[in-house]
Chain A
Amino acid sequence: MKKTIHHKRTLFYYDGPQLFLAHDQSCTQYLCLLVENAEEFDRFLCVPVSEVRLREFYEGRIDLRKIYAEPERKELYYTDIIDSFEGEIHLFPMQYEDLREEWLPEAGFDWDSSEMKDDAMIQEAIIDSEK
């Protein structure tokens, strides 16, 4: 089933968004990771994440590979962004079994060691997870 999400925050930027947080109409949150830089679009791999898992990520207790390689709901999507993040982003389901190794981050990419963390964002995430 096709889903739509809305961009909430870009977590890592390098010549463009690498990892962003989004949410759907039922407030389920998704982490979307850039996996392909094509000529006319950027392909992102998106996985639903619970508040608990998101908080674990922000606190450096779970690395990014595990979030994608061991999704909580065995649910994965991809999206090709050809326009902007404004408005709806359409997600297309993919089979977990079809997940290619080259789309997975290597082990060791955890938020805590990245030193990319933004204190305000962490506070926001903690407040969100405590709601």
Chain B
Amino acid sequence: MESGNHLEWAEELPPNCPPDSAYPPQYDIFYRLVNEYPPEEKDFFSHKKLFPRKRFNTDECRARSISIFNQLDNCILLLKLPAHKHKKVIQLILPPESGVVLQTGQKAHFSWWRRRHYNPLADYKEVNDKLKGE
């Protein structure tokens, strides 16, 4: 795996990142929170990129990934938390060229290291109230 190659990945990654155990998704469905519809590019920035002056409570490689869920319910539950109450849910069907993913933390949580040339803004769906079953 061409780790640390900033020409390949959306963000500059440390050595040995993404981990070898991360794998390309096969059009798997994932969900993520965004600030507004339509989402903006920064909705797909890692927290390390968004808050470069902050020191993170995780390893550098994970801090350079973004979180996605493979269960819609998990993403909707996050909307109940203070830091996410006003956000929106989007669905992504990630093709192999979108990067690599790895299940980390909670069962439905995945870290996603995005490839530089994959544009999620061209490939997302809004998850509206009807889809949420409300």
Binding site for B on A (CB under 8 A): 7, 10, 12-19, 33-37, 39-42, 45, 64-65, 81-85, 102-109, 113-118
Q: Establish whether residues A13 and B106, one from each chain, have CB atoms under 8 Å apart when the complex forms.
A: yes
Binding site for A on B (CB under 8 A): 33, 46-47, 51, 53-58, 66-67, 71, 73-74, 77-85, 104-109
In the complex, chain A residues whose CB is within 8 Å of the CB of B84: 14
In the bound complex, how far is the Cα of B118 from the Cα of A129, in angstroms? Answer: 47
Q: Give the A-B contact count at a CB cut-off of 8 A.
A: 98
In the bound complex, how far is the Cα of B127 from the Cα of A122, in angstroms? Answer: 31
Query: A39-B51, A40-B51, A115-B107 known; A102 and B57 CB under 8 Å?
Result: no
Q: Establish whether residues A104 and B74, one from each chain, have CB atoms under 8 Å apart when the complex forms.
A: no
Q: Establish whether residues A41 and B54, one from each chain, have CB atoms under 8 Å apart when the complex forms.
A: yes
Q: Give the residue of A7, A35, A64 whose beta carbon is less than 8 angstroms from that of B83.
A: A35
In the bound complex, how far is the Cα of B103 from the Cα of A116, in angstroms? Answer: 12
Q: Establish whether residues A12 and B106, one from each chain, have CB atoms under 8 Å apart when the complex forms.
A: yes
In the complex, chain A residues whose CB is within 8 Å of the CB of B104: 13
Q: Establish whether residues B85 and A102, one from each chain, have CB atoms under 8 Å apart when the complex forms.
A: yes
In the bound complex, how far is the Cα of B54 from the Cα of A64, in angstroms? Answer: 27
In the complex, chain B residues whose CB is within 8 Å of the CB of A19: 81
User: Can you give 20 A-B contacts (C-beta < 8 A)?
Assistant: A12-B105, A13-B58, A13-B104, A13-B109, A16-B58, A17-B58, A34-B82, A36-B83, A37-B51, A39-B51, A39-B54, A40-B53, A65-B80, A102-B82, A105-B80, A105-B81, A106-B85, A114-B73, A116-B108, A116-B109
Q: Establish whether residues B67 and A82, one from each chain, have CB atoms under 8 Å apart when the complex forms.
A: no
Q: Give the residue of A104, A107, A117 whose beta carbon is less than 8 angstroms from that of B107.
A: A117
In the complex, chain A residues whose CB is within 8 Å of the CB of B47: 15-16
Top 3 A-B pairs, shortest CB-CB distance? A116-B106, A106-B80, A13-B105
In the complex, chain A residues whose CB is within 8 Å of the CB of B67: 13-15
- Nearest-neighbour CB distance to chain A for B86, whole angstroms, equals 10
Q: Establish whether residues A15 and B78, one from each chain, have CB atoms under 8 Å apart when the complex forms.
A: no
Q: Give the residue of A45, A65, A84 whose beta carbon is less than 8 angstroms from that of B57.
A: A84
Q: Establish whether residues A115 and B78, one from each chain, have CB atoms under 8 Å apart when the complex forms.
A: no
Q: Give the residue of B66, B73, B82 whose beta carbon is less than 8 angstroms from that of A105.
A: B82
In the complex, chain B residues whose CB is within 8 Å of the CB of A108: 77, 80
Q: A14-B84, A17-B57 are in contact. List 19 more A-B contacts (CB 8 A).
A: A10-B57, A10-B105, A12-B106, A13-B104, A16-B56, A19-B81, A33-B82, A37-B83, A39-B53, A82-B54, A84-B57, A102-B82, A103-B82, A106-B79, A106-B80, A106-B85, A108-B77, A114-B77, A115-B71
